[in-house]
Amino acid sequence: MGGTLADKRDYYEVLDVERSATEKDLKNAFRRLARRYHPDRSEEPDAEDKFKEAAEAYEILSNPEKKQQYDRFGHNAFRGGSSGFSGGGMNMEDIFDQFGDIFGGGSPFDSFFGGGGRQQRNKGTNLRIKLKLDIKEIANGVNKKIKVKRLVTAPGVTFKTCPNCKGTGKVNKVVNTMLGQMVSSSACYQCNGTGKIIDNKPPGVDSTGLQFKEEIIEIKIPAGVSDGMQLSMSGKGNESPSGGVSGDLLILIEEIENADFKRDGNNIVYDLYVNFIDAVLGKDLEVPTIDGKVKIKIPSGTQSGKILRLRGKGIKDLNTSISGDQLIHVNIWTPKKLTAEEEKILLQLKDSKNFKPSPGKSDKGFFERVRDFMS
């Protein structure tokens, strides 16, 4: 970003704004470019130079006095002065400190990227728990009461105004920037930005003023969660020292294996075993579902592998609340042992025309059935 004045691009061109741009327009333009060219996020080879170029343009145009000089004389207004960017000795952290106020305080890492770079210093730590659920609880949602041990402010702890920041939670410091020396605000190191420090604490309580306490917390689990999913309850984690914001309670879902039902997305699969006679003659049977037993009809001549569908008897979708189906996989049970009389009867039927396999077009194979139900 160095070079002669002739190499410099017009500041309005850099920010892609009109000369009549308002303060809000300039700020939004700089935010957009900072997101795009953030050196830790962008893969563009000249990202850092473009980031600094945008910072330079915003610094000049957002200052009414410097903007007026620039509008009259262009880059020559800052020839040899301390008001222009030189780039010498300027690092990215200096830029973050310098422009932290336009990103809502602190570093643009936090406001741009959801706090991915650093955690709020005045926020308590998060708690993590595992919660086991069976398929019936997952299907329709459930309320659970769980016991957690979290850090809370100990009884008898009192606070006073932080003497370092006078209760503001911020301290000012002078930083060297491309524009010369500037005053930057940052969170107070003594109170971690809360503006308060511990005044008195009872014996046995450590310097944080926190102690463990068991609490019963009611959790509302929505229908349709899945194994490995993480839910969050804001403010139900550990409290922060000096009365800051509490952390969150993070709930990791574990799905308990069910002996009867298997999950396939929002569908529930149930293996039904039918004896040979019922498959041949047909029969009304009761089958279990997540909501209780229902009657189904096994048509005469049912083949092993046939899939019956109970619509709406599956798991509610997490986003739409529309329930999946229960798929009943029919298995024809073949006897493993026969009495002499049973064997005699079957041998009499063995050569019957109706007992010889003769699949028609309507009798689909396994892969065709799977394809039909997946489509």
- Quick one: pLDDT at residue 371? 59
Structural tokens at position 283:
């029969």
- Quick one: pLDDT at residue 364? 58
Hey, what domains does the chain have and what are their CATH numbers? 5-112 (1.10.287.110), 127-255 (2.60.260.20), 261-374 (2.60.260.20)
Structural tokens at position 342:
């049973």
What whole-number distance in Å separates Cα of residue 56 and Cα of residue 70? Answer: 12
What one-character-per-residue DSSP string does 216-246 give? EEEEEEPTT--TT-EEEETT-SPPPGGG-B-
Provide the CA 116 distance to its chain's centre, in angstroms.
Answer: 12
pLDDT digits (tens, 9 = 90+) for 281-339: 999 999 999 999 999 999 998 998 999 999 999 999 988 889 999 999 999 998 889 89
What whole-number distance in Å separates Cα of residue 237 and Cα of residue 126? Answer: 5
Global pTM reads 0.55
Single out the residue of 98, 1, 99, 108 nearest to residue 49, CA to CA. Answer: 1
100 phi and psi angles, rounded to 5 deg: -55, -30
What whole-number distance in Å separates Cα of residue 194 and Cα of residue 92? Answer: 26
Single out the residue of 330, 334, 226 nearest to residue 269, CA to CA. Answer: 330
Each residue's pLDDT expressed in tens, for the chain with a length of 375 residues: 545 555 688 999 999 999 999 988 998 898 888 888 876 667 788 888 888 888 888 988 988 888 888 888 787 776 644 444 444 344 444 455 445 444 444 443 333 333 333 334 568 899 999 999 999 999 989 999 999 999 998 998 888 899 999 888 888 877 666 555 666 778 888 887 778 888 888 888 887 888 899 999 999 999 999 999 999 898 999 998 777 789 999 999 999 999 999 999 999 999 999 998 999 999 999 999 999 999 999 999 899 899 999 999 999 998 888 999 999 999 999 888 989 998 888 888 888 887 777 776 665 555 565 556 555
- Quick one: pLDDT at residue 123? 81
What whole-number distance in Å separates Cα of residue 61 and Cα of residue 21? Answer: 9
- Quick one: pLDDT at residue 110? 39
The DSSP letter of residue 316 is B
Radius of gyration, CA atoms only, the chain: 35
pLDDT digits (tens, 9 = 90+) for 248-266: 999 999 999 999 999 999 9
Single out the residue of 266, 251, 328 nearest to residue 138, CA to CA. Answer: 266
Provide the CA 344 distance to its chain's centre, in angstroms.
Answer: 65
Instruction: Show the 3-state SS of the chain.
Output: CCCCHHHCCCHHHHHCCCCCCCHHHHHHHHHHHHHHHCCCCCCCCCHHHHHHHHHHHHHHHCCHHHHHHHHHHHHHHHCCCCCCCCCCCCCHHHHHHHCHHHHCCCCHHHHHCCCCCCCCCCECCCEEEEEEECHHHHHHCEEEEEEEEEEEECCCCEEEECCCCCCCCEEEEEEEECCEEEEEEEECCCCCCCCEEEEECCCCCCCCCEEEEEEEEEEEECCCCCCCCEEEECCCCCCCHHHCECCCEEEEEEECCCCCEEEECCEEEEEEEEEHHHHHHCEEEEEEECCEEEEEEECCCCCCCCEEEECCCCCECCCCCCECCEEEEEEEECCCCCCHHHHHHHHHHHCCHHHCCCCCCCCCCHHHHHHHHHC
| Contact predicate 136/194, CB 8 Å | no
Beta pairing partners, 177: 180
Provide the CA 207 distance to its chain's centre, in angstroms.
Answer: 33
What whole-number distance in Å separates Cα of residue 367 and Cα of residue 305? Answer: 11
Provide the CA 187 distance to its chain's centre, in angstroms.
Answer: 27
- Quick one: pLDDT at residue 354? 79
Our separate counts of H helices and E strands in the chain read 10, 15
Half-sphere exposure of 346 (CA within 13 A, CB side): 11
- Quick one: pLDDT at residue 201? 86
Residue 284 neighbours by CB distance under 10 Å: 9
